[in-house]
């Protein structure tokens, strides 16, 4: 009899455990569907120049000119910081030395035009063809300043070699915004090298590239970093 009672007790304990395992709490499940990620874009486009790229021949002292190119954050979805850099400057004698060059003390040193040829630049943000409110002056040594800029809005022309530093994060271009990069140049009649005269630049050539880039706001890179 004792054995039978003991067996029933074990069965009862197992039955109680089985009942506890089948209990459930209220619950409800929902699903958030359609989660997607799409990268934005920056697309800097150079419009038709006027007349950048420059192609000027037969330069002479007293000559000057202006060119511009339109920069557009084309069909972009992101804002971008604009960099501009003048780079890859090259000079040459342009051919055999002329008699006036030799008499002026010139020799075949790879060209002297950068001693006299000067440039200045600004960003025409409102694209009205003049340097005024909202525009950015781009000066030598990487300096930049919003209007009136430096020197009370005046432009101090300088050699191409002084402009090679470039200008980092000049402004933030919004999606689809366009601005004009304006480059002005002169070959002055004034000459500041008393050991020579300006004949040493005869037939010389000078060239350079204008690099531009947009980078994500707050990011690093571009053409000046």
pLDDT, tens digit (0-9, with 9 covering 90-100), for 78-120:
999 999 999 999 999 999 999 999 999 999 999 999 999 999 9
Using alpha carbons only, give the angle 122, 128, 129 rounded to the nearest 5 degrees: 55
Q: What is the pLDDT of residue 101?
A: 94
Q: Is residue 225 part of a domain?
A: no
Tally of domains within the chain: 1
d(CA 50, CA 174): 23
Q: Is residue 160 part of a domain?
A: yes
Q: Is residue 150 part of a domain?
A: yes
Q: pLDDT tens digit string along 43-58?
A: 899 887 778 889 999 9
Q: Does 14 score more than 50 pLDDT?
A: no
Q: What is the pLDDT of residue 3?
A: 47
d(CA 110, CA 135): 37
Confidence of residue 67 (pLDDT cuts 50, 70, 90): very high
Residues 6+ apart with CB under 8 A from 166: 83, 84, 85, 86, 87, 142, 211, 223, 224
d(CA 140, CA 161): 9
Residues 6+ apart with CB under 8 A from 164: 85, 86, 87, 89
Q: pLDDT tens digit string along 167-217?
A: 999 999 999 999 999 999 999 999 999 888 999 999 999 999 999 999 999
Element (H, E) at 2: helix 2-21
Q: pLDDT tens digit string along 17-49?
A: 544 556 779 888 899 988 877 787 888 998 877
- Residue range(s) defining the domain that contains residue 181: 44-216
Q: Is residue 4 part of a domain?
A: no
**Backbone region of residue 117 per phi and psi (left: phi > 0; alpha: psi in -120 to 50; beta: other values):** beta
pLDDT above 90 as % of the chain: 68
Q: Is residue 120 part of a domain?
A: yes
Q: Does 130 score more than 60 pLDDT?
A: yes
Q: Is residue 121 part of a domain?
A: yes
Confidence of residue 1 (pLDDT cuts 50, 70, 90): very low
Q: Is residue 138 part of a domain?
A: yes
Q: What is the pLDDT of residue 222?
A: 87
Q: pLDDT tens digit string along 136-174?
A: 999 999 999 999 999 998 999 999 999 999 999 999 999
């Amino acid at each position: 009899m004792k054995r039978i009672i003991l067996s029933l007790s074990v069965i009862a304990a197992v039955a109680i455990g089985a009942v506890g395992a089948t209990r459930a709490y209220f619950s409800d499940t929902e699903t958030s569907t359609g989660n997607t990620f799409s990268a934005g874009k920056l697309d800097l486009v150079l419009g038709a120049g006027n007349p950048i790229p420059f192609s000027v021949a037969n330069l002479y002292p007293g000559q000057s000119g202006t060119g511009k190119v339109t920069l557009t954050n084309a069909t972009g979805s992101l804002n971008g910081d604009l960099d501009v850099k003048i780079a890859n400057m090259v000079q040459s004698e342009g051919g055999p030395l002329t008699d006036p060059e030799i008499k002026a003390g010139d020799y075949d040193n790879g060209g002297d035009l950068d001693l006299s040829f000067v440039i200045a630049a600004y960003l025409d943000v409102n694209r009205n063809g003049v340097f005024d409110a909202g525009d950015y002056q781009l000066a030598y040594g990487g300096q930049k300043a919003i209007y009136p800029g430096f020197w009370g809005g005046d432009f101090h022309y300088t050699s191409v070699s002084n402009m090679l530093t470039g200008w980092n994060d000049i402004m933030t271009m919004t999606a689809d915004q366009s601005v004009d990069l304006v480059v002005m140049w002169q070959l002055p009649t004034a000459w500041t090298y008393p050991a020579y005269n300006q004949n040493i630049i005869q037939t010389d050539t000078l060239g350079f590239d204008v690099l531009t880039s947009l980078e994500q706001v707050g990011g690093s890179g571009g053409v000046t970093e």
